[in-house]
Each structure stands twice: as structure tokens, then as C-alpha cells.
Structure 1
């Protein structure tokens, strides 16, 4: 449900829409709607959004926001990320409230995954 003044949608650049779509479909079971050759959208993932064709990517090193996914089994999720073409850029580490890791997907965008508990 759309709510006034609340986050509603997020967009990311993607150098390879097909690879990004395949990665998130396999690693996180996302589905996409294609809107022409330069845009794919996802929904029902906690926040709706999309990827647009671009030669750039989103990284915290360049000041981009970090979107963090939740996992009930962080080690299994890390294995799926690696199996399906993601690159782990920060191994699992503890932080107050849980643990997490950071990865890039095939188009180079940085995401993180967190879970309750410590490693």
C-alpha cells in the first residue's frame, strides 16, 4: 500500500540487465517485469524497484546508499550469492544486533545481507 511520505520505490543502475535479472532470480527468488530493453522492475521484495541500463553502479565507496536484505540463514544465503555470480566484498562480520556481509551483483551494485545472532 502506498503511504504518503514513506519510501516507495528504489532504482539501481545496471550494466547488464540480463545478468542482474538472472542473479536476483536465482539467488533471492525475485521475479521481474520487463519494460523494454532498458528497464526491469521488481515488486514484493520489501520495497519495490527496478534496474535501468547504465554504465555506472551503486557502491558505498562512492557515497551510495546501502540496501540490506534479511536472511534467516546467512551462511546459506552467502553460498547462494556466490553460486549465482555475486562477489562477496566483505565477509560475514558481527555488528550490534546481528551479523552481515556485503556483496556486488553482476552489474557491480553493492548490497548487504544481515541476520540476527553472531557468527
Structure 2
């Protein structure tokens, strides 16, 4: 049996309010392409993905999406001002520092820096 190398290429989030989610993540420098009133693609600079607007959101469980920032403290402050809920304050770990937050739809993400 041959091994096949497959990496994460794209990630999608279900969101309740497309404009609200775009405004939130735009503060992190993300850019967007609208494909319909209910779907847009985002580009974070290192990964592309999408927002799909739906009334049914299940933001609990699953993989933890981890973002990278050159300036952890500035990103922390930007997210707090944008309405994020900080779920884990900045901690140190071998290789860097990180914190976790919940976005406006309840998704928990982390941000790390060297």
C-alpha cells in the first residue's frame, strides 16, 4: 500500500452573520471574496478557507485552529476590542507563547508566537 501525503488545504466555518464575521476577522488583516450572500472565501495570508452563513452552528469540539502572530500582545488586544472572549490567557510553552479565544460565533481558536 502506498502512502499519500495529504495536508490541510482549506477550512470552513459556519457563521450566523456573514458581515459580522468578516468585520471581526478583517481586524486581523484577513481578506475576503464573496461568492454568494451565504458564502465567502477568506485569505488569512497563510491559509484560505470559507465562511458559510447558516442558522445552525456547532462550534464545540473538533480540531483547534491555531493562528500565528508576529505580535502576540497586539493581536490579543485587537481580538478583545473586537469582542472575542479570551478563554486562556497568554502562557509560555517550549518554543513560544500562546493564548486562546472564542470568536463571535463561539469557535475556540488559539494564537501563538515565537
TM-score by length of 2: 0.85
Asked if residue 90 in structure 1 is aligned to residue 91 in structure 2, the reply is no
CA distance in 2, matches of 1:9, 1:105: 19
Question: Match for residue 110 of structure 1?
Answer: 108
Shift in Å at residue 81 of structure 1?
0.5
Give yes or no for contact 2:31–2:44 (8 Å, CA) kept in 1. Answer: no
Shift in Å at residue 30 of structure 1?
0.8
For structure 2, the residue ranges without an aligned partner over 5 or more in a row are none
CA distance in 1, matches of 2:48, 2:7: 12
CA distance in 1, matches of 2:44, 2:20: 20
Instruction: Give the SS at the match of 1:29.
Output: coil
Structure with bigger gyration radius: 2
- From the two aligned structures, give the one with the greater helix fraction: 1
Give yes or no for contact 1:98–1:114 (8 Å, CA) kept in 2. Answer: yes
- From the two aligned structures, give the one with the greater strand fraction: 2
Q: How does 1:1-119 map to 2 (within 5 A)?
A: 5-26=6-27, 28-43=28-43, 45-54=45-54, 55-59=56-60, 62=61, 64-116=62-114
CA-to-aligned-CA distance 1:31-68 (integer Å, 9 cap, x gap) = 11112121111125211100112321433xx2x11111
Shift in Å at residue 7 of structure 1?
2.1
For structure 1, the residue ranges without an aligned partner over 5 or more in a row are none
TM-score by length of 1: 0.82
Give yes or no for contact 1:15–1:56 (8 Å, CA) kept in 2. Answer: yes
